[in-house]
Amino acid sequence: MIAVIRRELGAYFSSPIGYVYLGVFYLLTGYFFFAGVLFANSSVMTPVFQVMINIVMFLTPVLTMRLMSEDRRHRTDQVLLTAPVTLGAIAAGKFLAAALVYTAGVSMTLVYSIVVEVLAQVNWAMVWGSYIGILLLGFAFIAIGQFISSLTENQAIAAIGCFTVVLAIFLMDALIDIVPNPLLRTVLQGISFMRRYTPITNGILGIANLVFFISVCCIFLFLTTRVLEKRRWS
Protein backbone atom coordinates (compact mmCIF):
# COMPACT_ATOMS: atom_id res chain seq x y z
CA MET A 1 0.00 0.00 0.00
CA ILE A 2 2.92 2.35 0.69
CA ALA A 3 4.02 1.92 -2.93
CA VAL A 4 0.54 2.90 -4.13
CA ILE A 5 0.56 6.01 -1.93
CA ARG A 6 3.98 7.06 -3.23
CA ARG A 7 2.90 6.47 -6.81
CA GLU A 8 -0.23 8.57 -6.42
CA LEU A 9 1.54 11.40 -4.60
CA GLY A 10 4.12 11.44 -7.37
CA ALA A 11 1.34 11.61 -9.95
CA TYR A 12 -0.23 14.61 -8.19
CA PHE A 13 2.99 16.61 -8.19
CA SER A 14 4.39 15.48 -11.52
CA SER A 15 1.32 17.14 -13.07
CA PRO A 16 -0.25 20.55 -12.36
CA ILE A 17 -3.16 19.08 -10.35
CA GLY A 18 -1.45 19.02 -6.97
CA TYR A 19 0.05 22.49 -7.34
CA VAL A 20 -3.14 24.04 -8.70
CA TYR A 21 -5.22 22.46 -5.93
CA LEU A 22 -2.94 23.69 -3.13
CA GLY A 23 -2.43 27.06 -4.80
CA VAL A 24 -6.17 27.75 -5.10
CA PHE A 25 -6.71 26.42 -1.57
CA TYR A 26 -4.14 28.79 -0.05
CA LEU A 27 -5.24 31.72 -2.22
CA LEU A 28 -8.89 31.48 -1.19
CA THR A 29 -8.31 30.77 2.50
CA GLY A 30 -5.64 33.49 2.66
CA TYR A 31 -7.95 36.06 1.09
CA PHE A 32 -10.84 35.30 3.46
CA PHE A 33 -8.47 35.23 6.43
CA PHE A 34 -7.27 38.72 5.56
CA ALA A 35 -10.69 40.13 4.62
CA GLY A 36 -12.87 38.34 7.16
CA VAL A 37 -10.54 38.13 10.16
CA LEU A 38 -7.60 40.55 10.06
CA PHE A 39 -9.24 43.41 8.17
CA ALA A 40 -12.44 42.98 10.21
CA ASN A 41 -10.35 43.05 13.41
CA SER A 42 -11.93 39.78 14.53
CA SER A 43 -10.58 36.74 16.37
CA VAL A 44 -13.26 34.43 14.98
CA MET A 45 -12.00 32.08 12.25
CA THR A 46 -15.47 31.37 10.88
CA PRO A 47 -14.89 33.06 7.46
CA VAL A 48 -11.90 30.79 6.81
CA PHE A 49 -13.78 27.62 7.65
CA GLN A 50 -16.79 28.72 5.63
CA VAL A 51 -14.66 29.11 2.52
CA MET A 52 -13.09 25.70 3.22
CA ILE A 53 -16.55 24.15 2.86
CA ASN A 54 -16.84 25.74 -0.59
CA ILE A 55 -13.34 24.49 -1.42
CA VAL A 56 -14.40 20.97 -0.46
CA MET A 57 -17.42 21.21 -2.76
CA PHE A 58 -15.64 22.65 -5.79
CA LEU A 59 -12.09 21.24 -5.54
CA THR A 60 -12.66 17.69 -4.27
CA PRO A 61 -13.80 16.61 -7.76
CA VAL A 62 -10.50 17.97 -9.13
CA LEU A 63 -8.58 16.03 -6.51
CA THR A 64 -10.38 12.72 -7.11
CA MET A 65 -11.24 12.72 -10.81
CA ARG A 66 -8.00 11.03 -11.85
CA LEU A 67 -7.63 8.58 -8.96
CA MET A 68 -9.07 5.57 -10.75
CA SER A 69 -10.13 6.82 -14.18
CA GLU A 70 -6.61 7.74 -15.32
CA ASP A 71 -5.32 4.19 -14.82
CA ARG A 72 -8.33 2.85 -16.66
CA ARG A 73 -7.89 5.28 -19.58
CA HIS A 74 -4.17 4.48 -19.97
CA ARG A 75 -4.76 0.75 -19.33
CA THR A 76 -2.22 0.83 -16.48
CA ASP A 77 -4.94 -0.51 -14.20
CA GLN A 78 -4.13 -3.99 -15.48
CA VAL A 79 -0.69 -3.70 -13.90
CA LEU A 80 -2.22 -2.80 -10.54
CA LEU A 81 -4.89 -5.48 -10.74
CA THR A 82 -2.29 -8.19 -11.36
CA ALA A 83 0.25 -6.84 -8.86
CA PRO A 84 0.92 -8.72 -5.59
CA VAL A 85 -1.23 -6.32 -3.59
CA THR A 86 -4.82 -6.65 -2.43
CA LEU A 87 -7.58 -4.66 -4.09
CA GLY A 88 -8.41 -3.15 -0.72
CA ALA A 89 -4.83 -1.91 -0.41
CA ILE A 90 -5.03 -0.33 -3.88
CA ALA A 91 -8.25 1.52 -3.02
CA ALA A 92 -6.95 2.54 0.42
CA GLY A 93 -3.59 3.67 -0.96
CA LYS A 94 -5.17 5.92 -3.58
CA PHE A 95 -7.61 7.30 -1.01
CA LEU A 96 -4.81 8.04 1.48
CA ALA A 97 -2.74 9.82 -1.18
CA ALA A 98 -5.63 12.16 -1.98
CA ALA A 99 -6.36 12.57 1.73
CA LEU A 100 -2.72 13.56 2.37
CA VAL A 101 -2.85 16.27 -0.30
CA TYR A 102 -6.13 17.51 1.14
CA THR A 103 -4.71 17.47 4.68
CA ALA A 104 -1.67 19.41 3.48
CA GLY A 105 -3.99 22.15 2.31
CA VAL A 106 -6.03 22.24 5.52
CA SER A 107 -3.11 21.96 7.95
CA MET A 108 -1.28 25.00 6.55
CA THR A 109 -4.22 27.18 7.60
CA LEU A 110 -3.25 26.50 11.22
CA VAL A 111 -0.81 29.36 10.68
CA TYR A 112 -3.81 31.71 10.51
CA SER A 113 -5.03 30.59 13.94
CA ILE A 114 -1.56 31.05 15.41
CA VAL A 115 -1.37 34.58 13.98
CA VAL A 116 -4.74 35.44 15.53
CA GLU A 117 -3.64 33.94 18.86
CA VAL A 118 -0.69 36.35 18.90
CA LEU A 119 -3.04 39.30 18.38
CA ALA A 120 -6.08 38.18 20.38
CA GLN A 121 -7.68 35.27 22.23
CA VAL A 122 -8.72 32.32 20.07
CA ASN A 123 -11.42 29.81 21.03
CA TRP A 124 -9.26 26.76 20.42
CA ALA A 125 -12.03 24.27 21.23
CA MET A 126 -14.05 25.54 18.27
CA VAL A 127 -10.95 25.87 16.08
CA TRP A 128 -9.89 22.26 16.67
CA GLY A 129 -13.48 21.12 16.26
CA SER A 130 -13.68 22.96 12.95
CA TYR A 131 -10.46 21.35 11.73
CA ILE A 132 -11.63 17.87 12.70
CA GLY A 133 -14.98 18.52 11.03
CA ILE A 134 -13.54 19.86 7.78
CA LEU A 135 -11.06 16.98 7.59
CA LEU A 136 -13.76 14.34 8.13
CA LEU A 137 -16.07 16.04 5.63
CA GLY A 138 -13.29 16.19 3.05
CA PHE A 139 -12.27 12.56 3.61
CA ALA A 140 -15.87 11.43 3.09
CA PHE A 141 -16.14 13.36 -0.17
CA ILE A 142 -12.78 12.02 -1.34
CA ALA A 143 -14.02 8.45 -0.79
CA ILE A 144 -17.20 9.26 -2.75
CA GLY A 145 -15.21 10.90 -5.54
CA GLN A 146 -12.84 7.96 -5.76
CA PHE A 147 -15.76 5.55 -6.13
CA ILE A 148 -17.26 7.67 -8.92
CA SER A 149 -13.84 7.84 -10.59
CA SER A 150 -13.68 4.03 -10.56
CA LEU A 151 -16.86 3.86 -12.66
CA THR A 152 -15.49 5.69 -15.71
CA GLU A 153 -12.30 6.26 -17.66
CA ASN A 154 -13.26 9.86 -18.45
CA GLN A 155 -11.86 12.29 -15.88
CA ALA A 156 -14.32 15.03 -16.82
CA ILE A 157 -17.28 12.72 -16.23
CA ALA A 158 -15.76 11.65 -12.91
CA ALA A 159 -15.35 15.28 -11.84
CA ILE A 160 -18.88 16.25 -12.89
CA GLY A 161 -20.34 13.18 -11.20
CA CYS A 162 -18.50 13.90 -7.96
CA PHE A 163 -19.53 17.56 -7.99
CA THR A 164 -23.16 16.60 -8.62
CA VAL A 165 -23.22 14.18 -5.68
CA VAL A 166 -21.46 16.63 -3.36
CA LEU A 167 -23.83 19.43 -4.39
CA ALA A 168 -26.82 17.17 -3.76
CA ILE A 169 -25.48 16.40 -0.29
CA PHE A 170 -25.17 20.11 0.50
CA LEU A 171 -28.70 20.75 -0.80
CA MET A 172 -30.15 17.91 1.24
CA ASP A 173 -30.82 20.12 4.27
CA ALA A 174 -33.02 22.39 2.15
CA LEU A 175 -35.10 19.38 1.14
CA ILE A 176 -35.54 18.26 4.74
CA ASP A 177 -37.57 21.36 5.56
CA ILE A 178 -40.00 20.89 2.67
CA VAL A 179 -40.44 17.09 2.65
CA PRO A 180 -43.98 16.35 3.92
CA ASN A 181 -43.42 12.66 4.72
CA PRO A 182 -42.19 12.31 8.35
CA LEU A 183 -40.43 8.99 7.69
CA LEU A 184 -38.54 10.34 4.67
CA ARG A 185 -37.68 13.49 6.64
CA THR A 186 -36.23 11.34 9.43
CA VAL A 187 -34.15 9.35 6.93
CA LEU A 188 -32.80 12.53 5.32
CA GLN A 189 -31.94 13.95 8.73
CA GLY A 190 -30.07 10.76 9.58
CA ILE A 191 -27.89 10.89 6.46
CA SER A 192 -27.44 14.67 6.39
CA PHE A 193 -23.73 15.49 6.27
CA MET A 194 -24.13 19.06 7.45
CA ARG A 195 -26.21 18.12 10.49
CA ARG A 196 -23.34 15.81 11.48
CA TYR A 197 -20.68 18.34 10.59
CA THR A 198 -22.06 21.39 12.43
CA PRO A 199 -21.88 19.99 16.01
CA ILE A 200 -18.26 18.94 15.44
CA THR A 201 -17.32 22.48 14.40
CA ASN A 202 -18.82 23.70 17.68
CA GLY A 203 -16.41 21.48 19.58
CA ILE A 204 -19.00 18.75 20.28
CA LEU A 205 -17.24 15.56 19.19
CA GLY A 206 -20.16 13.17 19.42
CA ILE A 207 -19.25 9.55 18.77
CA ALA A 208 -22.23 9.08 16.44
CA ASN A 209 -21.12 11.98 14.21
CA LEU A 210 -17.51 10.79 14.05
CA VAL A 211 -18.60 7.22 13.29
CA PHE A 212 -20.91 8.52 10.55
CA PHE A 213 -18.08 10.11 8.54
CA ILE A 214 -15.74 7.17 9.12
CA SER A 215 -18.51 4.81 7.98
CA VAL A 216 -19.06 6.81 4.79
CA CYS A 217 -15.35 6.48 3.99
CA CYS A 218 -15.38 2.73 4.67
CA ILE A 219 -18.55 2.12 2.64
CA PHE A 220 -17.28 3.89 -0.46
CA LEU A 221 -13.82 2.33 -0.19
CA PHE A 222 -15.58 -1.04 -0.04
CA LEU A 223 -17.65 -0.16 -3.13
CA THR A 224 -14.50 0.93 -4.96
CA THR A 225 -12.88 -2.39 -4.08
CA ARG A 226 -15.89 -4.25 -5.48
CA VAL A 227 -15.62 -2.30 -8.75
CA LEU A 228 -11.93 -3.25 -8.98
CA GLU A 229 -12.77 -6.87 -8.25
CA LYS A 230 -15.37 -6.92 -11.01
CA ARG A 231 -12.86 -5.50 -13.48
CA ARG A 232 -10.22 -7.98 -12.41
CA TRP A 233 -12.45 -10.90 -13.33
CA SER A 234 -14.07 -9.36 -16.41
Question: pLDDT tens digits for 96-153?
Answer: 999 999 998 888 888 888 888 777 777 777 888 888 888 999 999 999 999 999 888 8
Round the average pLDDT of the chain to a whole number and report it. 83
Alpha-carbon separation of residue 128 from 46, 55, 121, 176 (angstroms)? 12, 19, 14, 29
Asked whether 65 and 149 are in contact (CB, 8 A), the reply is: yes
Asked whether 102 and 138 are in contact (CB, 8 A), the reply is: yes
Give residue 219's identity as a one-letter amino acid code.
I
d(CA 53, CA 63): 15
Provide the CB-side half-sphere exposure for 111 (13 A, CA): 10
Q: What's the farthest any 2 CA atoms get from each other in the chain?
A: 61
Question: pLDDT tens digits for 155-188?
Answer: 889 889 999 998 888 888 777 777 777 777 777 7
So what's the pLDDT on residue 81? 60
Question: In sequence order, which residues have a C-beta less than 8 Å from that of residue 29 and are 6 or more positions away?
Answer: 48, 51, 52, 55, 109, 112
Q: Count other Cβ atoms within 10 Å, centred on residue 112.
A: 20
Question: pLDDT tens digits for 37-87?
Answer: 777 777 777 778 878 888 888 888 888 888 887 767 666 666 666 666 788
Q: What single DSSP character describes residue 36?
A: I
pTM: 0.89
Question: In sequence order, which residues have a C-beta less than 8 Å from that of residue 198 and are 6 or more positions away?
Answer: 133
Residue 40 φ then ψ, to 5°: -85, 0
Q: Count other Cβ atoms within 10 Å, centred on residue 10.
A: 12
Question: pLDDT tens digits for 196-225?
Answer: 888 887 777 778 888 989 999 999 999 999
